Amino acid sequence: MQNGISIVLRILILCLLVCLPAAFIRALFSAKHKRKKNFIHTFSIVLLFSPIILIAIWVLYEIFGMGVNHIATKRQTEQLQANLENTIPDIQIVDIYSETGNTSGTGNHVDCLSSITFSTQLQKSEIEDSMSEFYTFNEWNCYVKNTDDGYYLFYINTSAPFIGNIEGH
């Protein structure tokens, strides 16, 4: 999505650099002096406020990205909980935790982290087998582990939709 904002900003800058000067030159050669004066005044105001407008667009994009990322994390956590409850018959959920941001501390990116602590009579391999239709297990982004107090922890960490959001810096 970082490329998306880059493309939008490039288009806006291109419009400012190409369209506005062309309109300005056209206004200079128009027949009416009053019209020229109005256009020069309007052009000056647009040129003066264009950096503020571009910054406002960028800020709104970042805020929108944060909201979308938090919604994605919430949905991921709710889906994980639903999958666990529908797949494991005797599950007792102890704790639900979710986080949106740079969870690994490496690089500038945003993650959606969800973890659920639960108890069941099933073994770890049985839990992984029953949940493998929904998730691909590995040792880094998606795994089940035994906790010290006898519970299981299901951990999943995925990339956020707006991975280059300011929240990851």
Domain ranges of the chain: 1-169
> Does the predicted model carry a pTM greater than 0.85?
no
Tens digits of per-residue pLDDT, 6-19?
Answer: 666 666 666 666 66
pLDDT of residue 116: 96
pLDDT of residue 169: 66
Q: Say how many Å lie between the first and final Cα of the chain, rounded.
A: 15
CA distance 9 to 113: 30
What tokens appear for 47 in the block? Answer: 């040129």
Would the CA dihedral through 60, 65, 66, 70 be positive or negative? positive
pLDDT of residue 29: 58
pLDDT of residue 58: 87
Which residues of the chain fall below pLDDT 70?
1-37, 169
